[in-house]
Structure 1
Amino acid sequence: MGSELSLIIGGMELNDPQYRYGRLEVDDIDGWWNPPSRKNQDSARVNSDGDYGSENYFEARYVSITGAFVAKGESERWKGANALAALLSTGPKLMTVSIDGDVQTAMVKATDQPDLKWLAPRLAEYTIQVKADDPYKYGERREVSVASGGSDTVFHRGTVGAWPSVALSGSMPDGYTVTIGGQSVSVPMGLASGESHRIDYRRRRLYINGSLFMGAFGSQNFRSIPPGLRTAVSLSASSGSGTAEVTVNDTYI
């Protein structure tokens, strides 16, 4: 891969000709560009043709990163090797891949120790195996603010449906309803001035002042934002007034 590629894990650039211990190169990111495997739970129709279909889900994403390290000298050889070995040793890190202006991110963790093979005294090939428990990749973050009684639209430029997060503020003592693409999620519990509510659409959870609150919803018609289409968003309240901040990221598989 050429110099237009940037691959950063936990703040460390892996395609860096100016790396402080020499030169780092990335040759391939196998598993990043293609969708991960699908979970297939279809069951056979015993007395009929075909199968009973199941919902479409994806396995975790596994990525194999291969490249080369050219050390400046003998001392830098071991310092660079140690840095690669410790890259994901402390837990999951943000992986950011940028190529031709397109930026996508995922949280990854190591599935094995990095493999470093020395081909010459200062030249090594490396392989880093990582796993993203969340198989989706995320791009640009987009936000829209909607006042109670008003409406707007939200969109994203990914390839699959993106789950929004909605932050509520204001004073709506008799609860409120958020409607996205004609599907409504209502919270009969009142929102007091100075409080914060956040609805996580993907997990179908309500957080009050940052803490999870169970059993809070009336209607629960959660939906994702389809890629490339402007989707209507509105907020309604029977009393008081408030604002909904809708956040969505470009989402890829």
Structure 2
Amino acid sequence: MSKSVTLDGQIIHGVDRLGSWRINSVEGWDETPEAKSNSESRPLADGDYDSEVFYGSRLVTLNGRLSAKTPGDAFMARERLTALLGSPGRFQVDQFGLVRWGTARRGKIKPGQIKGRHLPFQMELRFIDPRKFGKARSFSTAVGSPVDVLQRGSFPATPIVTVTGSMPSGYDLSLNGRLVSITKSLASGSTHTIDMRTGILRQNGTVVAGGFSYSELLKVEPGMPQNFFASTASGSGTVRLDYYDTYI
């Protein structure tokens, strides 16, 4: 098959030791989730005030069937399906050599009645983060040296920034006209990580409160390379950005 789909490590479109899995229909994965915006009418003027568009959660429904090698394999597959997504897991589609994935939470997973070697199934999967992800990207540079970063998705990517070195007075990070200014000092042997989706700063894995003086969370836009720069008033260090090509 030219297409493979896995859920929580289990093949649901493709071939494994239990038999041949096939998804017959899927809705919600290739569509844009419902947009969220709070527009407000302009009084005594035409139109509405402009507002940024956000997206709601993604709901994916699918129907499929397993042609098992034996009736016993169909029985074991049904048990496997009912146990999926006890905790959030990866839903991944590999098609034409292009991988897209998201973090799924359990909705309804309903294996049907076994008929001979055949097991039909239905699933509802919830993605509270509606984004889809592709290739992993990583860019590193020394503080004070710019680096070009890029991603080939269709939606802004939010990197995890890892900073090491010795910078007693903190440091600044800038990308696409946005600035993050860290006032928390960084000592040699310590590591700062900043999640640009949540704005949480951690030092050696522990959350740091009040470590920012100014923050516009950084985003890597899809398309052309963009210049990232880190600077400090004293000391030196290295910075690494990790993220995925991001899609909606």
TM-score normalized with structure 1 length: 0.92
1:102 aligns with 2:95: no
Give the match for residue 40 of structure 1: 37
Count of aligned pairs: 248
Give the match for residue 86 of structure 1: 83
Amino acid at match of 2:58: R
Q: How does 1:19-38 map to 2 (within 5 A)?
A: 19-38=16-35
Distance 1:222 1:40 in 2: 20
Give the match for residue 16 of structure 1: 14
Structure 1: gaps spanning 5 or more residues: none
Give the match for residue 137 of structure 2: 142
Structure 2: gaps spanning 5 or more residues: none
- Residue identity over aligned pairs, in percent, reads 31
CA shift for structure 1 position 119: 7.3
Distance 1:11 1:85 in 2: 14
1:247/1:79 CA distance change after superposition, 3 Å: same
1:232 aligns with 2:227: yes
Alignment check: 8 A CA contact 2:159 2:241 kept: yes
Amino acid at match of 1:85: T
Distance 1:150 1:35 in 2: 38
SS of the aligned residue for 1:15 comes to strand
CA-atom RMSD in angstroms: 1.6
Distance 2:124 2:95 in 1: 20
CA shift for structure 1 position 87: 1.7
Give the match for residue 123 of structure 1: 118
Alignment check: 8 A CA contact 1:24 1:69 kept: yes
CA shift for structure 1 position 52: 2.6
CA shift for structure 1 position 209: 1.0
Distance 1:208 1:55 in 2: 32
Alignment check: 8 A CA contact 1:146 1:233 kept: no
Distance 2:177 2:50 in 1: 27
SS of the aligned residue for 2:66 comes to strand
Alignment check: 8 A CA contact 2:26 2:62 kept: yes
SS of the aligned residue for 2:212 comes to coil
TM-score normalized with structure 2 length: 0.94
1:73 aligns with 2:70: yes
Amino acid at match of 1:6: S
CA shift for structure 1 position 171: 0.6
